[in-house]
Amino acid sequence: MVALKGRTWIYTSYGDDAKSIITATKPGKSSPYHMTKLFQPARFHLVAGTKHIRMNYTKDVIVLESLYCCLRRLLPPRHKHPIRWQDLEGHWVSNVQHLALSIAGCRHSAEKIIATLPKLKHLYLIVQRDQKCSHGSPREWTNFDKQQHMTKHNFMHFDHFRALHPDKAINSCECETNPTRAFAVERAFKRAFLAEYKADNVEIVVVADPY
């Protein structure tokens, strides 16, 4: 049972169990993952006035939209900077096996903290996708193939996202198709996991959100 803090959404495939838990940076911030219609009420519980959710660590993907700020929201109130790996020791986050992070939120050497999570198996680094892109979401593109272009946790491989994205010269958008920043962040995480002797235990993949 995990207490939901801040502004949180549960992303599901229609009728399925929750796939992701998304915690936004600020209560008033609009999130691209706002999918209130896909809530699974059966997975929610009120405990002492706080909303909780049942989490299945073996299959649920935790998505932190803005990494460093979101990690702070998970800790007790008035927790001071900087966040250390010891702060997450014994916390429910330490049990997470599948984690997705917004590349734009990977600051303050946060990869060093994430690399200490003992049970992590998959790390997805999500590139920026323009929610107002005139081409729509990738799953609506005519050349999109779910079986071929998506990971086991329903993200889209970045290489496929770049290759299939319609020509920006025709309709410009803010979708991140330049690999420079994404691969730099990926390298930083690989170095961090290597330093923790976990490089062979965690699969790191750069992805886009197809929804």
Q: Which of 56, 69, 68, 47 is nearest to 21 (CA)?
A: 56
| pTM as predicted | 0.77
Distance CA 57, CA 92 (A): 10
52 and 44 Cβ atoms separated by less than 8 Å: yes
24 vs 34: CA distance, rounded Å: 10
Tens digit of pLDDT at every position of the chain (211 positions): 666 655 554 444 444 444 445 443 333 344 433 323 233 444 554 445 556 667 778 888 888 776 666 676 666 665 666 677 777 777 788 888 999 888 887 877 888 889 989 999 999 999 988 888 888 888 888 888 888 888 888 889 999 999 888 887 777 888 888 999 999 999 999 999 999 989 899 999 999 988 7
Distance between CA atoms of residues 79 and 44, nearest Å: 27
Determine the pLDDT at residue 120. 94
- Burial grade of 144 (CB within 10 A; 0-12, 13-18, 19 or more): middle
Residue 108: its pLDDT value, please?
A: 78
Q: Which residues pair with 14 in a beta bridge?
A: none
pLDDT score at 49? 55
Helix, strand, coil content of the chain in percent (nearest 5) = 30, 20, 50
- Name the token pair of 46: 């009120």
